Structure 1
Amino acid sequence: MYSSRPGLITAFHGCDESLVHKVVSGQTELRSSNNKYDWIGHGIYFWDSSPSRAFEFARFLNQNPGRRRKVISRPAIVGAVINLGLCLDLLDYHNLRLLKIAYGVLRDSCSAVGKKMPINKPASGNQDLLLRELDCAVIEMVHHFQQQKNIRPFDSVRGVFWEGEELYPNAGFREKNHIQICIRNPNCIKGFFHPRQKIQWP
């Protein structure tokens, strides 16, 4: 009952500068990501209220061109105004229980056909579990279950990602912690914009 999120949020997508102009002007749309390692499932990914983290990611891709098919030559970000709609919010206790059930269904399905379970693993040169094939499969199982039972599908997924080095010795915080949003229903995106720079006031 409380999974529907009222109101609007701002979120940011890191990309090449040329794509920003095309998206804002309506010449093209952001494409859904459908990699088997997408950590909160398939859809259009945004950084929740963090333009600086979105830009840092675009800059990382610019410096590591082998990490994606299309090279980012000029790192930039595009802002979006979003209504999350019916959201599979992984900061919600009830939804975490739903994921646990979906894991059991996935495990039993793989066992029945003699298939190995997908696993989460770190990317090359990184200790964080960035390649989240297991988590992606579990979340997609939730969506599959909703579809099979004719239950209203989730429009979006939201989760917190713990990433990077400790901020300081024995810290519970890491350098790149962030909240990401995966938009499954593109109609949740109400518009795109060029993010402004803060001006001095008063």
Structure 2
Amino acid sequence: MSRLAASFVLGYHGCEARVARKIINCEEPLRASDKKYDWLGPGTYFWESDPFRAMEWAQQAKTRGRIETPAVVGAVIDLGNCLDLLNRENIELVRDAHRLFVQEQKRSGLPIPANRSLEGEPERILRFLDRAVIQFLHEIFEVAGEAAFDSVRGLFPEGDELYPGAGFRRRNHIQIAVCNPKLILGLFYPPDYPPAGD
């Protein structure tokens, strides 16, 4: 949707070191996520311009027992036809999709999902509603025969205030969900984050 910004970005994907090696060696593709709580809908997720945050995510996944050895894969990404939620036009598009989604859910007698926090966490990191609205928008465009979104990009304020009264938060980030894997143009290890043993 948005071609008003630069199309190429560097993104960083946190994962298991063993998987990172297979991805870099073209033995295994990057996997897309399609969980009901994914923040930007289905796609392969990257932290834009932030390998540190990708590693932090992988380390958190290790503490939850989801991976053994944290690693980061860097990617050169063409955002293509991007639903860029840093762009006013696209924000309005998502707001309108939400209104239509709620109408459709009510008409069908279906519940409206809600974003939720994990127990003990202040952030609403389970984005059931946001994911449903973005998926609904994808479906609207598909039914209308419009060009599909290649990627979705959003800014997320997260974490504690950087200092008292700050407008900045400790874990602010831009996240990208790549829907069209053909637009992942190249993969690399970030220099400061090679996998363990390399």
User: Offset at 1:8?
Assistant: 2.4
Structure 1 CA distance, aligned partners of 2:5 and 2:29?
23
Match of 1:140 among 135, 142, 149: 135
Does the residue aligned with 1:53 lie in a helix, a strand or coil?
helix
2:118 aligns with: 123
- Greater shift, 159-168 or 87-96, is seen at 159-168
Matched, 1:179 2:184: no
Equivalent residues, number = 193
TM-score of the two chains, using structure 1 as the length reference:
0.92
In the TM superposition, what whole-angstrom CA distance separates every residue of 1:149-177 from its partner, at most 9, and x where no partner exists? 00001100000011111111111111110
Matched, 1:104 2:117: no
2:161 aligns with: 166
**Structure 2 unmatched ranges of 5 or more:** 194-198
Pair 24,5 (structure 1): closer, same or farther in 2 beyond 3 Å: farther
TM-score of the two chains, using structure 2 as the length reference:
0.93
Does the residue aligned with 1:192 lie in a helix, a strand or coil?
strand
Q: How does 1:8-157 map to 2 (within 5 A)?
A: 8-65=8-65, 71-157=66-152
Structure 2 CA distance, aligned partners of 1:3 and 1:191?
21
Structure 2 CA distance, aligned partners of 1:131 and 1:107?
19
1:68 aligns with: none
Identity over the aligned pairs, expressed in percent?
Answer: 42
Counterpart contact for 1:5–1:85, Cα < 8 Å: no
2:196 aligns with: none
Structure 2 CA distance, aligned partners of 1:6 and 1:147?
25
User: Offset at 1:10?
Assistant: 1.1
Does the residue aligned with 1:56 lie in a helix, a strand or coil?
helix
Which residue identity lines up with residue 35 of structure 1 in the other structure? K
Structure 2 CA distance, aligned partners of 1:7 and 1:127?
33
In the TM superposition, what whole-angstrom CA distance separates every residue of 1:47-92 from its partner, at most 9, and x where no partner exists? 0000000000100111122xxxxx2111110011111101000000
Match of 2:184 among 165, 186, 189: 189
RMSD of the alignment, in Å?
1.5
Does the residue aligned with 2:94 lie in a helix, a strand or coil?
helix
Misfit runs of 4+, over 2 Å: 1-8
Counterpart contact for 2:80–2:150, Cα < 8 Å: yes
Structure 2 CA distance, aligned partners of 1:15 and 1:124?
24
Counterpart contact for 1:123–1:130, Cα < 8 Å: yes
**Structure 1 unmatched ranges of 5 or more:** 66-70
Structure 2 CA distance, aligned partners of 1:64 and 1:13?
17
Counterpart contact for 2:83–2:153, Cα < 8 Å: yes
Does the residue aligned with 2:81 lie in a helix, a strand or coil?
strand
Counterpart contact for 2:2–2:82, Cα < 8 Å: no
Does the residue aligned with 2:38 lie in a helix, a strand or coil?
coil
